[in-house]
Structure 1
Amino acid sequence: MLYLEILGNLPEMARDEVKAMLELSGGEIAGQDYLFLKLDADKRAFHYLNRLGLSHEYGELLIEANSLEELLEKAKEIEWPISGTFKVDTETMANCKYNVIDLPRKLGAVIHGKGFRVNLSKPDTLVRVYCGEKLYAGIRYRFFDPKDFERRKAHHRPFFRPISLHPRISRALVNLTKAREEILDPFMGAGGILMEAGLIGLKVYGVDIKPEMVEGARLNLEHFGVKDYELRLGDATKLEELFPDKKFEAVATDPPYGTSATLAGRARDELYRKALRSIYNVLEDGGRLAIAFPTSFDGEAEAEKVGFKLVGKYYQRVHKSLERYFYVFEK
């Protein structure tokens, strides 16, 4: 059994991202306690869990308890898979029911009593205790360092455009498509979604109607070490012409939200409708589309008219003039 802590800013989207990755690896979510997920999965899931964008960490779940006393008793009975030195660290969630102030010391004493050495500054193994409706203890395997995503934000790229999804969200959109090998972004802009897809080993295809965006995306992909890409200058409403003999496994994209002046002279809603139709035509049967639309556009209804089936829908308020939904559709 594994545990995983998701981030709290888009929790439903984060949970569904985990679910999608587990479906690729033969696992499932076995339970949830606030932002803490219990995963019925094994090491086969690590490859896909390592792709996650909206998660904090994951590891091996060793103990689940309904009291401090029960947790400490179970800690005495189990074999702790600790390498080298260790430290106990507590995560007190918003729904924590227990007083865990002294728990790191008490649990640390139990583990130390089994012959393991404590190192509070640079431990080899981090023992994590989560406090929610229940208490959980485990060994951390992977921490998703926010700095890894922050360094790929728009202002750190060689080709800079201020309007761009956060890299964590871009990564989540890619994962929600359940792509295994490749992905298309027909409104690639500066290439933020393609960067995240390429960094997890997917072949990436990008389209933009502006030549400067195609060249800029190329600069960004190369800068961050993404080599397996194919970029084309073209129209997102005419993908069948750009890829006449190609069907894509998955599509993830963030279309422009601006006025017609910023949309190559076309009305926004009509652009969205035509793009949805074109994406549907180049997507494999069973393939997924992850896409963002402002709330003023009924993405669900328009996608269903084309033939898509809604899989997920997540609301985000960016600022007072922009509220949007992230959608996941399946063909």
Structure 2
Amino acid sequence: MNNMNQFIYTFACSDDERSLCSLEMRSLFGIDTESLIIKSDISIDPSRSPFIKEQIEIMYEGDTMSDILKQVEDIVLDDSTFKVIFVKINDLASENKISYGDRRIIERDLGMHIEGEADVHNPDHVFGIVTLGGRWYFGKYRLNDAVWFLHMKKPRNYSIALGTRLARATANIAVPNPLGVKAIDPCCGIGTVLVEALSMGIDIVGRDFNPQIVQGARANIAHFGYVGEVTYGDIADVSEMYDVAIIDMPYNLFSTTTPEEQLSLLQHTRRFASKVVIITIETIDDMIHEAGFTIIDRCVAKKRSFSRQVIVCN
């Protein structure tokens, strides 16, 4: 994280994903908004999130576009090439939205005030311009690389595994700042959460009581070139302490796990983790409280007619 500079982030999600996007936003940035654009002093790689679309590291700001045009004249790129992108997502009212033609004019005007060679296809530097809160912001532009999309094609998979977008968002909700945090997925299944977490540099280990599933999780992690520990064993045998655990509760529709066994999963998790993010298709608030956890935030993650709750607990 970087608290020296300031950044603008935009977000993109479907209506079904809005609740999950908002929970991830609150976890990463400590704020929420209806406009899908925020300003923050927290530096997050936009590719960490399935919902962050782009990031602008602010170089200049002003009340008017004329203010920005004057300031960008200080940019000297010598032999480097550049491109300017007008960020379409903003908090303007619909009647004040800026047309496609006006956006192109603004991009051209900015380009003419920057000392360097414009290249729209393969630039050395990409800059972004955006309006937020009645002010204009210009800076270094980064687009989300959608790393999670590549992880959809796992060599080992099964139908009830979490989707990669939900798994990636859950890892961010559980570990918004990976520095010094130890995480565990003690019922990791095929390793969907592990792959997403490891790809973001999160220190996480996995565990499962099904030896074949453990082999599948290891194969998936290795397939994408990541290194992570996945052990075979019952959750009751976990003895190390962790800062956070991620629990995807077994589904009654597909699992013979009883409510008593579900409670036992949560009680064991309480023993070795101070924070837990629970994914469940059922409302289990009473069970969570009985296990000794306090619910601090939550959302509903939908996929067509199927819903899961994501519950953050301390």
Is the pair's TM-score, using the shorter chain for normalization, greater than 0.5? yes
Please name the residue that 2:3 is paired with.
none
CA-to-aligned-CA distance 1:39-96 (integer Å, 9 cap, x gap): 124xxx35x7664343122121245566xxx123333235665752222222333854
CA distance in 2 between counterparts of 1:323 and 1:247 reads 31
CA-to-aligned-CA distance 1:229-265 (integer Å, 9 cap, x gap): 132232xxxx2x3123x11111113223242xx32x3
Task: Say if 1:86 and 1:117, in contact at 8 Å, map to a contact too.
Answer: yes
Q: What is the aligned-residue identity percentage?
A: 19
Please name the residue that 2:149 is paired with.
150
Task: Please identify runs of 4+ aligned residues in structure 1 that moved more than 6 A.
Answer: none
Summarize the alignment of residues 66-215 of structure 1 with structure 2, pairs less than 5 Å apart.
70-78=64-72, 83=77, 84-93=80-89, 96=92, 97-101=96-100, 102-130=102-130, 134=134, 136-146=136-146, 148-153=147-152, 156-178=153-175, 179-180=178-179, 181-215=181-215
The count of residues paired between Structure 1 and Structure 2 equals: 298
Code of the aligned partner of 1:242? D
* 1:216 Cα deviation from its structure 2 partner: 0.7
* RMSD of Structure 2 on Structure 1 (CA): 2.9
Code of the aligned partner of 1:76? K
* 1:107 Cα deviation from its structure 2 partner: 4.0
Code of the aligned partner of 2:127? V
Please name the residue that 1:243 is paired with.
238
Give the 3 Å change call, closer, same or farther, for CA 120–140 of structure 1 in structure 2: same
* 1:280 Cα deviation from its structure 2 partner: 0.8
Please name the residue that 2:229 is paired with.
229
How does the TM-score come out when normalised to structure 1? 0.78
User: What's the secondary structure of 1:8's corresponding residue?
Assistant: coil
* 1:311 Cα deviation from its structure 2 partner: 2.2
Please name the residue that 1:303 is paired with.
288
CA distance in 2 between counterparts of 1:12 and 1:136 reads 28
Matched, 1:325 2:312: no
Q: Larger relative contact order (C-alpha < 8 A, sep ≥ 6)?
A: 2
Please name the residue that 1:2 is paired with.
7
For structure 2, the 5+ residue unaligned runs are: 1-5
How does the TM-score come out when normalised to structure 2? 0.82
Please name the residue that 1:315 is paired with.
300
Give the 3 Å change call, closer, same or farther, for CA 309–255 of structure 1 in structure 2: same
User: What's the secondary structure of 2:115's corresponding residue?
Assistant: coil
Please name the residue that 1:289 is paired with.
276
Task: Say if 2:85 and 2:129, in contact at 8 Å, map to a contact too.
Answer: yes
Task: Say if 2:46 and 2:52, in contact at 8 Å, map to a contact too.
Answer: no
Task: Say if 2:217 and 2:230, in contact at 8 Å, map to a contact too.
Answer: no
* 1:135 Cα deviation from its structure 2 partner: 5.7
CA-to-aligned-CA distance 1:176-198 (integer Å, 9 cap, x gap): 22354432112211001011122
Task: Say if 1:6 and 1:56, in contact at 8 Å, map to a contact too.
Answer: yes
CA distance in 2 between counterparts of 1:80 and 1:12 reads 42
Please name the residue that 1:35 is paired with.
36
Code of the aligned partner of 1:60? E
